[in-house]
Amino acid sequence: MDVLSTRRIGIVLLVLLTTTVALSGVAAQQQAATVDPTPSGPNEAESIHAVTFAVGDSAVAGTAFEDIRIDYSVDAPAADVSNVGASTIERVGIDRGNDDPGSQVDVRAAEISEVSGGADGAAVQIILAGDRELRQGDQVVAVIRPVQNPQNAGTADVELAVNTQGAAVSRTGSATYEQHDATVTAADQTSAGETVVIDEVTLSEGGFVAIQNASGASPGEIRGASAYLGPGTHQDVEVPLNAPLDSTRDLVAQSYTDSNADRDFDYAASGGEVDGPYRNTDDNVIGSDTLTVTYDPDAGSTPTATETATPTSTETATATETATPTPTATATSTETATATETATPTPTETASATETATPTPTATGTDSSAGGGDTDGETTSASTDTETATASETASPTAPTDSDSETANSAGMSSDATATDSSDDDGGVPPVDDEFGALLAALLVALLFGGATLLGSP
**Chain centroid offset of residue 343 CA:** 53
Per-residue CA distances from 424 to 172, 418, 427 (Å): 64, 10, 9
Nearest to 40 by CA among 85, 79, 83: 79
Q: Where are the domains of the chain?
A: 33-177, 182-295
pLDDT at 157 over 70: yes
Q: Chain-wide mean pLDDT for the chain?
A: 73
Residue 301 has a pLDDT of 42
Residue 60 has a pLDDT of 94
* pLDDT confidence bin for 415, thresholds 50/70/90: very low
Full strand arrangement of the beta sheet holding 47-54:
33-38, 47-54, 139-147, 91-95, 107-108
* Residues in CB range of 181: below 8 A, 6 or more apart: 202, 204, 278, 286, 287
Mapping DSSP to helix (H, G, I), strand (E, B) and coil, where does residue 310 land? Answer: helix
Beta bridge partners of 233: 202
pLDDT at 316 over 80: no
CATH architecture under which domain 33-177 falls: Sandwich (2.60)
Q: Tell me how many degrees the CA angle 67-73-76 measures, rounded to the nearest 5.
A: 140
* Bigger pLDDT: 207 vs 444: 207
Dump pLDDT digits (tens) for 367-398.
333 333 343 433 333 333 433 333 333 333 44
Tell me the mean pLDDT in the region 276-280: 91
Nearest to 59 by CA among 87, 29, 86, 35: 29
Residue 435 has a pLDDT of 64
Nearest to 205 by CA among 238, 177, 172: 177
Fold for domain 182-295?
A: Immunoglobulin-like (2.60.40)
Residue 211 has a pLDDT of 97
